[in-house]
Amino acid sequence: MTKIDEFGSRLLAAGYSVTCDVPCGCEESIALAAAKMSFSWKGLVVLSHHVVIRELAQPTVQDFYDLFEVGFKLGKSSRRIPWLRGMQFGYVIIPVVVAEVVSDEVREYVCKAPVNRWCLFEFPVIYDLRTADACCFQDTNLWGAFFFPELRGVVRHCIK
């Protein structure tokens, strides 16, 4: 069982619908995509969670941007539900790259505060195969403070 298969099993057990070998419009496919809808009492909001996982030998920051875009497009195409007027909705995109070699630039990118976007959370994660450790944002900034513990919980239970 590969590490990505292990992540898929954990995501499936956590209530995500999991799809393997998802085409993404680039030369390679996404190894695994997982999706789940949830309601959060913290913001009285419905969240559409999307975890996209890809294995790369030496990832760059641009690889995370590209994976985020793929995850967002998958999320928009799969979760087209008309909401009642005034209903709050948001996307949570968790791009995960499984890598053999992790540069300092990539590690710094995933550990810094994610970009602030309205109704859209990006929470990049790098999994280092050499150390068997997942790195992600660990602090709590004001924007999205209610949701970062939940996102770290997904990483802790499904990715680490």
- Please, which pLDDT band fits residue 119 given cuts at 50, 70 and 90? confident
What pLDDT shows up at residue 25? 66
Residue 124 pLDDT greater than 80, yes or no: yes
User: Is residue 159 over pLDDT 80?
Assistant: yes
pLDDT at 87 over 90: no
**148 and 94 in contact (C-beta within 8 Å)?**
no
Domain boundaries, the chain: 3-159
**Average pLDDT score, the chain:** 86
Over the stretch 11-64, which tens digit does the pLDDT of each residue have? Answer: 999 999 999 888 766 666 788 999 998 887 776 778 889 999 999 999 999 999
